Each structure stands twice: as structure tokens, then as C-alpha cells.
Amino acid sequence: MPPTKKNRAALSPRLIGEQPPTDYSIWTVAYCQADMPYDFFGGSGLMSNQGTIQIPMVYTVLVGGEVGGKKRVILVDAGFGNQDWMSRYNFFGWEDPRTVLAKIKLIPEDVDTILVTHLHFDHIGNFSAFPNAQLYIQLDEYMGWLRTLALPHDFGGGERGWILSSLDPQDIHNVAIAMSQNKATLIEGDVEVLPGITAHLAKDSHTFGTQ
């Protein structure tokens, strides 16, 4: 689904002197663990044959907003929910969002905003578990993956190739549905999406439109 104007946001930057004070509490919470090869992080040439390292898979929770104003509950990324990924990449100890958020006295329904850094499965895949959240995704990210998925099927090398090794096409479909329901907003470039929180575009870096 191509974006429409109502799904796109272009906000005018405010002068520093006009910024109201904000106050956020920040938690980084793990929803599962993974055994990953060292060279995934350190580089194949440098860290080959160094074994594996156990890492947490996380999303970040921010609670707060303008001082004296409405309290916002914001996620940076949403983790994954499709259990097929558990066996593909040696994940273990997966916990659902209700269990994870209960540790900081929240529930999934409290979340009103999800800032999606990029559209790899472990960052976007479980956004539907947060029914009241509005997604914010870079336009470059969404359009980049749409163009990529339109390539010939044998271009990417199957599920171990660069396209599908970290992308679930169903997630892109689900984002399109969210846009049709006005629950996803595509932003362009550096945008203050909430008071005191600015998304910065890192175009053509980790992905097409990482923020």
C-alpha cells in the first residue's frame, strides 16, 4: 500500500526557546535472549571462529511528557511475536509484552506511541500486541522495503538471503493495514514526534530509513 498524505507527517521545528520542559523515565526491557556469533557484532574478518555470545533482545519504554501535561507511554520498537523466528536464530526465553511490561507496572494497552527504528522483524513484528499505539516509521524505510519486495523472487537468495533473513513480508502488510486505519504515520527526515523526542533519519545505513 503506497502512503497517502494523511499517513505522512511533516512537522515544523520549534525554536529552542519555545520548547516546554519535558520529563521522561526510561526503561530498556528484554523480551527474550539469543545466542549469536561474535562476528555478527565484531565483523567476520576480525571475530570469525570466536564462538557465540548471549545477548538480550530488547525494546525501550519511555513514560512521561511535558511537565504538568499528559503522561505518554512510548515504545522504541516492539519486538517480534511470530514464533517461527525462535528456531531460525537460536532465540530462547521469549516473553509476551503483558509479562514484560508488568515488571514495570504497565500493560500493553497503556502504550500510545511506538517509534519504529526500522522494519526488521525483531523491531516491528509484535506491534499489534499494543492495540492503542500509533506507529511512527520513516517514509524512506517503508518505501525502501516495498521496492525491495517487488524484486524478482529469486533475487534475494531465499530466507537466508539479505532480504528475508531479517524481514517478514507479513509485517509490511500489517503496517499497510495500520495505515489504512490511521494507526501508522510515515515521517520524513528529522521530526519531533512528541514533546522532547525527535526522530533522526539515518538514511541508507543499517536499513533504508533507520531512525
Asked if residue 199 has pLDDT above 90, the reply is yes
Work out the average pLDDT over 119-124.
Answer: 98
Asked if residue 5 has pLDDT above 70, the reply is no
pLDDT digits (tens, 9 = 90+) for 61-77: 999 999 999 999 999 99
pLDDT at 26: 98
Alpha-carbon distance of 6 to 146, in angstroms, equals 19
pTM above 0.85, yes or no: yes
CA–CA distances in Å: residue 155 to residues 150, 173, 182: 10, 20, 33
pLDDT digits (tens, 9 = 90+) for 50-60: 888 899 999 99
